[in-house]
Amino acid sequence: MIRARGLERRYGAKRVLRGVDLEVERGGFTLVTGRNGSGKTTLLRLIAGLAAPTAGELEVDVERGQLGFLGHEPLVYRELTAIENLRLYARLYRVPEPRERIGMLLERFALWDARNQRAGSYSRGMLQRLALCRALLHEPELLLLDEPYSGLDSEGAELLDRELAERVGRATFLVATHDPQRLAPLASGALAL
């Protein structure tokens, strides 16, 4: 599903990614590990299509509508409520039966009670959970998650564990993390940067 050879990404003189090779099969769960600054985020952004490689080949067999992305930013509008944000994304991703889907996800991530509050008033953990709702909203085939547990408290982390466990095998995962232990049981492969 993802094939990369000699991937390189530089910002000016600085090379953030150097000759990265990667192969992810459909249904795989690959961890991307490395210290801060090793390029995990950049790699995910390249695969998501948010940035282009400056050298190397990259093939991602997934169309944009089947791609779910969780980055460092939650990518939600602070002035809009959770529901309004998800409604917008549901519209853009052409999610069928958006009301049910949004309601279900908000409940699964324990945000239902806060659904009509502005995202700007959310705590860090709530924002991360909302971002996860956004990423999973259209039930994508490929999920690119950049440090998905960051900002989550133990409850939130458990909710995420559950969601991931449910989708393993059905969806393809590429997860960047600096704590691989947690996800090791789910993982089918790993890449160290």
Which positions touch other proteins (CB under 8 A)? 10-13, 15, 48-52, 54, 63-65, 67, 69, 71, 73, 75-80, 84, 88-89, 91-94, 118, 134
Instruction: Give CA angle at 171 (169, 176), nearest 5°.
Output: 100
Q: Which C-beta is closer to other proteins: that of 12 or that of 96? A: 12
Beta bridge partners of 190: 31
Minimum distance, C-beta of residue 4 to other proteins, in the bound complex (Å):
16
Torsion 121-67-163-160 (CA) sign: negative
- Shortest distance in whole angstroms from residue 136 CB to other proteins: 14
By C-beta, is 87 or 108 nearer to other proteins? 87
Say how many C-beta atoms besides its own lie within 10 A of residue 174's C-beta.
Answer: 25
Q: How far is the CB of 27 from other proteins (least distance, A)?
A: 22
Q: Which of residues 89 and 109 has its CB atom nearest to other proteins in the complex?
A: 89
> Distance of CA 50 to CAs 19, 44, 53, Å?
19, 9, 10
Shorter beta-carbon distance to other proteins: residue 108 or 118: 118
- Based on the number of CB atoms within 10 Å of its own CB, is 121 exposed (0-12), middle (13-18) or buried (19 or more)? exposed
Give the tokens for residue 161: 């564990």
Name which of 11 and 166 has its Cβ closer to other proteins.
11
Closest approach, Cβ 77 to other proteins, in A, equals 6
Smallest distance, Å, CB 54 to other proteins? 7
